[in-house]
A and B are shown apart, each in its own frame.
Chain A
């Protein structure tokens, strides 16, 4: 069974940093692109970033460009999201999701709260 499990969320001060992880299992991790998508409380889904098979191509939503960095370790079957200069607007559940043009499956999400 393909499974994605996010971790690393929590409460962080404005201006702070946090690194999220997404552990993948049940498939050959390096065979797929993988994405981060976030959902603010009571709001819709927003695409955040994605990374290609080998990790040498990354793209970002304008709202996080220059602050967030997506990376992957294919030896550890793990995806990361380094988040810097966090603001209240970054408060959301962060999901990782496998895929190229469509996302399947999704992890259960990890909540990031940016607040003083």
Chain B
């Protein structure tokens, strides 16, 4: 049950795009299309923004998109806005009814 690997921080200017990677193994990210992404603002509970690799819950702007290639999943945020500044976590089903999270990425909007 090793954590998925995410960059500790990324940054971008308003209007730009940023991509956050999430690297796992052939036992979790690479094995299942059950990668999800969560946004967490300081002092708040996490919020689901992407599920099943690329699906967006209702109400999540289409500026947020997900993808996967092999053992690495990615979250892209286009048209960065100030309110996107938050921590982002990926998660994957890891088999045998266990789940694993990434270490989290702090997004700074410059």
A and B bind = yes
A13 close to chain B: CB less than 8 A: no
Most-contacted residue by chain B among A46, A63, A102 (CB, 10 A)? A102
Q: How large is the interface on B (under 10, 10 to 19, 20 to 34, 35 or more residues)?
A: 20 to 34
Chain A residues within 8 Å of B47, by CB: 105-106
Contact A104 B51 (CB under 8 A): yes
- Assuming A104-B57, A106-B47, is B36 touching A61 (CB within 8 A)? no
Minimum Cβ distance to chain A for residue B92 (Å)? 9
Minimum Cβ distance to chain A for residue B75 (Å)? 14
Minimum Cβ distance to chain A for residue B54 (Å)? 12
Q: How large is the interface on A (under 10, 10 to 19, 20 to 34, 35 or more residues)?
A: 20 to 34
Indicate with 1 or 0, residue by residue over B65-84, a CB within 8 angstroms of chain A CB atoms: 00000000000000000000
Could you count the A-B residue pairs with CB atoms below 8 Å apart for me: how many are there? 67
Contact partner, A57, options B38, B97, B99, Cβ 8 Å? B97
Contact A61 B1 (CB under 8 A): yes
Chain A residues within 8 Å of B38, by CB: 45, 103
Contact A108 B104 (CB under 8 A): no
Report the nearest B residue to A109, measured CB to CB: B45
- Assuming A44-B89, A108-B45, is B100 touching A102 (CB within 8 A)? no
Report the nearest B residue to A106, measured CB to CB: B45
A76 close to chain B: CB less than 8 A: no
A-B contact pairs, 22 of them (CB 8 A): A35-B99, A44-B89, A44-B101, A44-B103, A45-B46, A45-B89, A45-B91, A46-B101, A47-B100, A52-B97, A59-B97, A95-B45, A95-B46, A97-B46, A101-B32, A101-B52, A102-B34, A102-B48, A104-B51, A105-B45, A106-B45, A107-B45
